[in-house]
């Protein structure tokens, strides 16, 4: 009875979620076909500012990857749910919180050499490299963190020697005011940057790019992960 009640309560909290996910998957498949890169695309459900019930609802609707921006908010949700989802940290990570990476399958936001060194040290201490994506700032916006393309190439060589991290690809956030052509260019640059990481010897198979307002264009340009919140769950709580 309790399990049934929980299913009903989560379904009521996010009515139509399964249908929205089906629509998103259809749009992703169509965009991937248009782009012609042949990639598989994973939906990372962004649950920030929603309560723990959003994680339960996402799991029940077939999603297995959950993205959180803040470590503390994520840890509270982890303690409150018991479904076996994969947790992704997609927001900025402070160096004094690197030990929390033990709870995440992937850090999407490795955004500076100092953070890279701190995450590497944690990976070495625990005896297992941390899977990371390099955050790129391709829009030039000062409000965004991340490496520029000119910074990335020399850092790509340095990352090879950092045994405590495993560079799995790149992440970027496009400008919210970008035109469609600018979005294509931004996402294509991220794809090319991933290629540079591969050439440097990294297993950089992932492209985390595209959110609720631009994920179809990102998929056309080769995204392997899209980070979706509002499209799935509606407006976030304040």
DSSP string, 5-46: HHHHHHHHHSTTHHHHHHHHHHHHHHHHHHHT-----EEEEE
Q: Which comes out higher in pLDDT, residue 58 or 1?
A: 58
Fold exhibited by the domain 2-233: TIM Barrel (3.20.20)
Report d(CA 41, CA 28) in Å as an integer.
7
Q: According to the model, what pLDDT value does residue 2 have?
A: 47
Whether pLDDT at 14 is above 70: yes
Give the pLDDT band of residue 3 (cuts 50, 70, 90): very low
Give the pLDDT band of residue 63 (cuts 50, 70, 90): very high
Whether pLDDT at 79 is above 90: yes
Q: Scan for tokens 């723990």, then name that residue.
A: 52
Average pLDDT, the chain: 93
Tell me whether residue 117 is exposed, middle or buried, using C-beta atoms within 10 angstroms of its C-beta: 0 to 12, 13 to 18, 19 or more.
Answer: middle
Report d(CA 226, CA 214) in Å as an integer.
9
Parallel/antiparallel/unpaired status of strands 65-68 and 225-228? unpaired
Q: Domain residue spans in the chain?
A: 2-233
Parallel/antiparallel/unpaired status of strands 225-228 and 42-46? parallel
Beta bridge partners, 167, equal: 132
pLDDT, tens only, 111-164? 999 999 999 999 999 999 999 999 999 987 777 889 999 999 899 999 999 999
Whether pLDDT at 238 is above 70: no
């Amino acid at each position: 009875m309790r399990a049934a009640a929980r299913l009903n309560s989560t379904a009521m909290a996010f009515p139509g979620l399964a249908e929205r996910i089906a629509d998103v998957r259809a749009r992703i498949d169509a965009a991937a076909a248009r782009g012609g890169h042949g990639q598989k695309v994973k939906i990372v459900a962004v649950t920030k500012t929603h309560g723990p019930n959003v994680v339960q609802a996402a799991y029940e609707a077939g999603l297995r990857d959950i993205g959180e921006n803040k470590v503390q908010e994520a840890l509270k949700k982890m303690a409150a749910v018991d479904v076996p989802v994969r947790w992704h940290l997609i927001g900025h990570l402070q160096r004094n919180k690197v030990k929390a990476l033990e709870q995440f399958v992937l850090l999407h936001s490795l955004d500076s050499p100092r953070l890279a060194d701190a995450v590497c040290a944690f990976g070495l201490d625990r005896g297992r490299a941390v899977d990371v994506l390099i955050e790129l700032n391709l829009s030039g916006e000062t409000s965004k963190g991340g490496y520029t393309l000119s910074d990335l190439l020399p850092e790509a060589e340095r990352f090879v020697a950092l045994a405590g991290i495993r560079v799995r690809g790149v992440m970027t956030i496009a400008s919210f005011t970008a035109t469609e052509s600018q979005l294509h260019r931004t996402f294509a640059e991220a794809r090319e940057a991933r290629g540079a990481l591969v050439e440097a010897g990294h297993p950089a198979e992932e492209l985390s790019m595209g959110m609720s307002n631009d994920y179809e264009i990102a998929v056309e340009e080769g995204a392997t992960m899209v980070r979706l919140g509002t499209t799935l769950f509606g407006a976030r709580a304040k």
